[in-house]
Amino acid sequence: MSSIPSFVAAALAALLLGASATPALAQPDAITPYTIRVDDAVLRDLRERLGHTRFPQELTGTGWRYGTDLAYLKSLVAYWQNGFDWRAQERRLNQLPQFRTTIDGIDLHFIHQKSKVPNAFPLVLTHGWPGSVYEFTKIIGPLTDPVAHGGRADDAFDVVAISLPGFGLSGKPTTPGYSPERMGKIIATLMARLGYAPSGQRGGDWAGISSRLVAIDDAPHVAGLHLNFCVAGPPPGVANPMDGVPAAEVQRYQARQAYMENERAYQQIQGTRPQTLGFALDDSPSGLAAWIVEKFHAWCDCGDDIESRFSKDDLLTNVMLYWVTGTGSSSTRIYYENRVAPPNPARVTVPTACALFPKEISVPPRKWIEARYNLVRFTEMPRGGHFAALEQPELLLDDVRAFFRTLR
């Protein structure tokens, strides 16, 4: 019998990642330990693809203005192919206790790091696009073991960090309809299955949206909501939504809105034709990296120096969680699902904290946030951007601890 061609083996290995590392879930509510182990064939296939990258031509002197900088991507791809050690990152991630359980047809991946401190407060961490649970690797230790990181034992948390459906190590939806609200219900089901009630919710990006919906739909089981992506539009029924808004907040909001006018193309394509984009994202690792890393550059408080905030290893480990699982395409569908889902305009009544980082995608006025949330804490951060847990972990940690200290 002839051997299976290497490219077929690599593709099968990518599809089966996790299934081969984790026993089949025998019971509907079973929670099964999970270990990341990417097949060697997937890594060989990756290196071959990187070596055959066909880079586009670039206009002289444009840098990041037209999209991902060519010189930077070439350096990143060269490091990815010849210097990046995935096995070291895999071992690092596997130091965190990981699990899978099936909810609403999805094999949901999550990290469940319990504190050594008795009766620690349960806290959910969720990510958005183009992030992953890797974002939380700098804060899980300080949250669960604050004493070891110079903190107080009574600030300890039991952390549940979730890979959203269609992202990274979680399963991919096979039918339409997995909107942020449906994902929020999956998160609530997981916390009930783990026996946590009430718990805290913490998120940004799509996690901020889905966490908000958990706080609405499952309010009796949510003690508090902490956001660094505080979604809030103009209050309804107000003739001039800027009435009573301080001039500095008006200027800040308008400046970010003007900036985002040149940043919304990804929303349009992912919200209308994610499948078309997916053919490129799931076939070209260099293309996937260009699509993701451009957002880390655009949304960080780093000027033009992305590596002043994120190392190449940070960037590539996050990209790898999309590449080896083939979730570049499935992750983008959340934009489409959100666009076609009916909105939920309800106000959040559980205590809410907003940590507003200056380079966040959206920085609505405080008055707008208060209209949509039961806002009890509002922090204007001195620096930082969209990927707060990875970019400014200490600032985020301090704010999370201070907020939940009042709710324990």
Residue 75 has pLDDT above 90, yes or no: yes
pLDDT at 28: 77
Is the separation of the CB atoms in 235 and 368 below 8 Å? yes
- Dihedral sign of CA atoms 36, 41, 43, 45 in order: negative
pLDDT value of residue 6 = 45
> Given a cut of 70, is residue 3 above it in pLDDT?
no
Does the pLDDT at position 13 exceed 50? Answer: no
Buried b vs exposed e over 322-361: b needs ≥16 C-beta within 10 Å?
A: bbbbbbbbbbbbbbbbbeeeeeeeeebebbbbbbbbebbb
The predicted structure's pLDDT at residue 261: 87
Query: pLDDT tens digit string along 170-215?
Result: 999 999 999 999 999 999 999 999 999 899 999 999 988 999 999 9
Residues acting as catalytic residues: 205, 335, 386
Query: What is the pLDDT averaged over residues 128-139?
Result: 98
Place of tokens 């995935």: 86
Q: Of 113, 65, 387, 89, which is closest to residue 228 (Cα–Cα)?
A: 387
pLDDT over threshold 60, residue 14: no
Q: What percent of the chain has pLDDT over 90?
A: 88
Fold that domain 6-405 belongs to in CATH: Rossmann fold (3.40.50)
- Residue 128: which of 276, 304, 315, 318 has the closest Cα? 318
Beta bridge partners of 112: 160
d(CA 246, CA 234): 15
Kindly tell me if the per-residue pLDDT of 299 is higher than 60: yes
Sheet of 199-203, strands arranged across: 31-34, 98-103, 106-113, 157-162, 121-126, 199-203, 222-227, 348-356, 373-380
Average pLDDT of 289-316? 97
Hey, where are the domains in the chain? Answer: 6-405
